[in-house]
Structure 1
Amino acid sequence: MTHKKIQFPQLFLRIAIAVSMLSAVADRFGFWGKNAAWGNWENFEKYTRQLTFFLPESLSQFSAYMATFFEIAIPLLLLLGFKTRIAAYGAGFLLLIFALSMTIALGVKAPLDYSVWVGSAAGFLLAGQQQFSLSLDQLTKKI
């Protein structure tokens, strides 16, 4: 059996994506106080309506709940390193949807200011890794 070294860059990328996504969730629940972008759920729903202007209000509200669900589930999977490749693709696609929605609704500057394109690319880059150090996936991998 060969000893595999820990790949710190991919571990750092996994943690950075996860923490960034969880920070956005914390913001919409008011955990960031005066440093918040939304500060509360109501403001987040208004923002979601801006991004999903083409949807009926009920679907826009549903998309706010679904985005929040995925912005909690995906980072938890990434932090645990469980189903990491699927979670990384999920992060890449979710952030890509956000970036496109932000570009259409708010203009090209908004997703650039919040590095949403970079986050999406990071998710896809992470998904392409061969192994995931310090992960449940690595522990359960068949030899």
Structure 2
Amino acid sequence: MYSQLFVRLAVATAFLSAVADRLGFWGAPGTSNASWGNWANFVAYSNQLNFFAPASMSNVLAIGATVLEVVLGILLLIGYRTRLVALFSGGLLTIFALTMMLSFGIKVTFNYSVWVGASACFLLGTNRIFPFSLDHYLERHRRK
């Protein structure tokens, strides 16, 4: 029961923390808490990951990833449509892992535990009941 809450919170904070980093909230580029530190550095990284996409798509892919991470992060945090969101999050993390592996090699996917995150999401998606979630609250109130 508590393990699924922990997985939801862990993946949600990972998504939201990554977004905070690319928006500069964890510090400027080169500081100890920042991987990117700003949007431009994130887009450059995204372009490396998406080497197969045309340059005209660089901002679209970076914005798309960011929007997905924000939306999925918030939905996991509150526990809304949790099963579907968990499966979609696992799929997104698998796509991230595959593009990271193609771009930088498999080791980097282990450094960032992307496979662990994807696996955790897929495992979370096997649950049907999510205590401590908006889903559970809404279900209880529908029955009344």
Task: Give the TM-score of the pair, scaled to structure 2.
Answer: 0.92
Q: Which residue in the other structure is 1:123 paired with? A: 121
Q: CA deviation at 1:140?
A: 1.7
Q: Distance in 1 between matches of 2:91 and 2:58?
A: 18
2:14 equivalent to 1:17: no
Is 1:45 matched with 2:43? yes
Give the number of aligned pairs: 137
Q: 1 CA distance for matches of 2:35 and 2:131? A: 33
- Kindly provide the amino acid, as one letter, of the partner of residue 22 in structure 1: L
Q: SS at the partner of 1:38?
A: coil
Residue deviations 1:57-106, cap 9 Å, x none? 12232110000000000010111111111110111011000000000011
Query: Any stretches of 5+ residues in structure 1 without a counterpart?
Result: 1-6
- Which residue identity is paired with 2:83? R
Contact 2:81 2:135 in 1 (8 A): yes
Quote how far apart the aligned CAs of 1:139 are.
1.4
Task: Note the aligned Cα RMSD (angstroms).
Answer: 1.0
Q: Determine if contact 2:83/2:128 at 8 Å carries over to the other structure.
A: no
Give runs of ≥4 in structure 1 deviating > 2 Å. none
Q: Which residue identity lines up with residue 131 of structure 1 in the other structure?
A: I
Partner of residue 76 from structure 1, selected from 63, 74, 77: 74
Correspondence for 1:66: 64
Aligned to 1:106: 104
Provide the residue aligned with 1:4 in structure 2: none
1:130, distance to aligned residue in structure 2 (A)? 2.1
**Percent identity between the aligned chains?**
50
Q: Which runs of 5+ in 2 are unaligned?
A: none
Q: 2:22 aligns with which of 5, 22, 28?
A: 28
Task: Name the aligned partner's letter for residue 60 of structure 1.
Answer: S
